[in-house]
Amino acid sequence: MATSTSEAYLLGVNQTELDRLRFQHQVWKPITDAFFDRLKVQQGWACLDAGSGPGFVSMDLCERVGESGEVTALDPSDYYLDWLRKESEGRGWKNLKTTLGTAETANLPKSHFNLIFVRWVIAFVPDPMRFLASLIGSLKPGGIIAIMDYYYEGLSLYPQGGAFDRAPDAVRAYYRSGGGDPYITGRIPELLRALGFRLTGFTPQQIAGGPESDIIEWAHRFFVPHLPMMADKGIITKAEAEAMIEDWLTHRRNPNTIFFTPIVIHITGQQQE
């Protein structure tokens, strides 16, 4: 996410991806809300949603901080921020701001935010230390940075033994093709300590569901369009992509199927006052 163009997004910027992100947010909202509960997000807080996309998290934060607080959605996509601005205007919100850019390029206010929240962003960033260092100057003394992202293990489809068993390796290579790191959450505690933060939380999360669940539908909306894109990039062959999708569809017709998501880590660090 190093530029302000759609090319900055490995997964694309379009209405289909926006709809997928909306559905993803619904599936993971209980997990994200529980994270906010642990963070004890307060009314009156100033929050930054770094890499906000269409701003589904930004809107949830707005409801938590109330009219006395504020939320800034930072993203390199005009397309997503324009959608968020229209949504915010429709709701009559005055305390949701948008900033076009990235952590590395945006002119963020100094010592301003109580909370910086980063969900499913840092795994795509080629230089995570620079990304984090660019953000922390905008935190108030004692402010919190909270990160929700993958440690890309755990993804599994039961019963095993089919072509889809190779999908996790393909996705990890997909992340790396854009300069990202599918295991970034393992490094983040070290990076935060190097930046002078105290690690205050490191919690793994995983969910699973059967063939009629929203969880498996969420995965379906990722794998079916993106496996062919992985083939286009040469990460897998076209035949491998087709075999993985066929195996996936066969599992969706099996009432005994269970899909296990990748492990998602909730990480929090607090700036020394």
Written as six digits, the tokens of 232 are 């286009």
| Domains of the chain with bracketed CATH | 6-152+180-207+261-271 (3.40.50.150)
Residue 25 and residue 18 in contact, taking contact as beta carbons nearer than 8 Å: no
Determine if the peptide bond prior to 159 is cis (ω within 30°): yes
What's the pLDDT score for residue 10?
Answer: 55
What's the pLDDT score for residue 35?
Answer: 98
What's the pLDDT score for residue 17?
Answer: 86
Q: For the stretch 228-238, what's the b/e string if a residue is b when 16 or more beta carbons lie within 10 angstroms of its beta carbon?
A: bebbeeebbee
What's the pLDDT score for residue 116?
Answer: 98
Per-residue pLDDT of the chain (273 residues; tens, 9 = 90+): 333 333 456 556 778 889 989 999 999 999 999 999 999 999 999 999 999 999 999 999 999 999 999 999 999 999 999 999 999 999 999 999 999 999 999 999 999 999 999 999 999 999 999 999 999 999 999 999 999 999 999 999 999 999 999 999 999 999 999 999 999 999 999 999 999 999 999 999 999 999 999 999 999 999 999 999 999 999 999 999 999 999 999 999 999 999 999 999 999 999 876
> Beta strand 156-158 with 258-260: parallel, antiparallel or unpaired?
antiparallel
What's the pLDDT score for residue 118?
Answer: 98
Question: 116: part of which helix (H) or strand (E)?
Answer: strand 113-119
Q: How many CA atoms lie less than 13 Å away from 207 in the CB half-sphere?
A: 16
| CA 230 to chain CA mean position, Å | 19
What's the pLDDT score for residue 2?
Answer: 32
Among candidates 223, 250, 235, which has minimal Cα distance to 162? 250
What's the pLDDT score for residue 160?
Answer: 97
What's the pLDDT score for residue 5?
Answer: 38
Could you give the CA distance from residue 52 to residue 120 in angstroms, rounded to a whole number? 9
Residue 33 and residue 266 in contact, taking contact as beta carbons nearer than 8 Å: no
Could you give the CA distance from residue 224 to residue 76 in angstroms, rounded to a whole number? 26
Written as six digits, the tokens of 217 are 């539908």
